[in-house]
Structure 1
Amino acid sequence: MPIYIAIFCVLPLLAGLIPEYLVCRFTRRKWWKVLPPLAVAAITALVTAGRLSVWESDVSPVTQLLFVPGVPAAFALLGTLLGWRLWKRLWGPRVVKDRRGG
């Protein structure tokens, strides 16, 4: 069971988090920040198109399409969101409150 969690959850999460953080950290253009989520969507579409042959087999196609491209894609997109939030938290401007009595 832990190997399934690693393959279907942790690896896609890291595969989304690391590129998103690096793109946000080292690029200056805003449109570059859209590339990791678009890459995740494109890879998910390619895997789904490749797995459409499952519809013709005896195995339940809904579960096959849900678990193979669905769960890893959701975790990869969550990873891109977490990568963006990590970058924002570490490198974004901070509001400092003045402790003087005003």
Structure 2
Amino acid sequence: MFIILGGFLLLPALLGLIAEYAACRLTMARRRWLRLLPPLLLAALTALTAAWRYRVWTAPESPLTQLLFVPGLPALGAAVGLLLGWRLWKRLWGPRVIRDPDRKKK
């Protein structure tokens, strides 16, 4: 069970978090289109892996479980990691709105 959670879900999530945070942090003032690089690479890698694993459909094992475990779970973990990396970057480096408690509401 730990191998499935650690290898197929948590490790890609950690790698996705690191990749997205690094991409957002390193491109803060420069080219903002580079921030799209980690999600685009994830989509391309998932599509290539699914196309490569499509050959499993001729194998006697269950092809659906093969496609879910190999490109499915790591892609889900990496996508969650990308989201968490973006939220971490936004939380640490985004602008803060400070409300004055003495100001009366209108």
Q: TM-score, normalised by structure 2?
A: 0.91
Taking only aligned residues, the RMSD between alpha carbons, in angstroms, comes to 1.0
Structure 1 position 101, deviation (Å)? 4.0
Distance 2:7 2:91 in 1: 28
Distance 2:103 2:78 in 1: 47
- SS at the partner of 1:95? coil
Count of paired positions: 102
Percentage identity across paired residues of the two chains: 59
Amino acid at match of 1:59: E
Residue deviations 1:54-89, cap 9 Å, x none?
A: 000111111110111011101101111111010000
Structure 1 position 3, deviation (Å)? 2.0
Q: What 5-or-longer segments of structure 2 have no aligned partner?
A: none
Q: Which residue of 2 aligns with 1:38?
A: 40
Distance 1:10 1:4 in 2: 9
Q: Which residue of 1 aligns with 2:14?
A: 14
Amino acid at match of 1:63: T
Q: Any runs of at least 4 consecutive aligned residues in structure 1 with deviations exceeding 3 A, and if so which?
A: none
Amino acid at match of 2:25: R
Q: TM-score, normalised by structure 1?
A: 0.94
Q: What 5-or-longer segments of structure 1 have no aligned partner?
A: none
Distance 1:33 1:76 in 2: 15
Q: Which residue of 2 aligns with 1:93?
A: 95
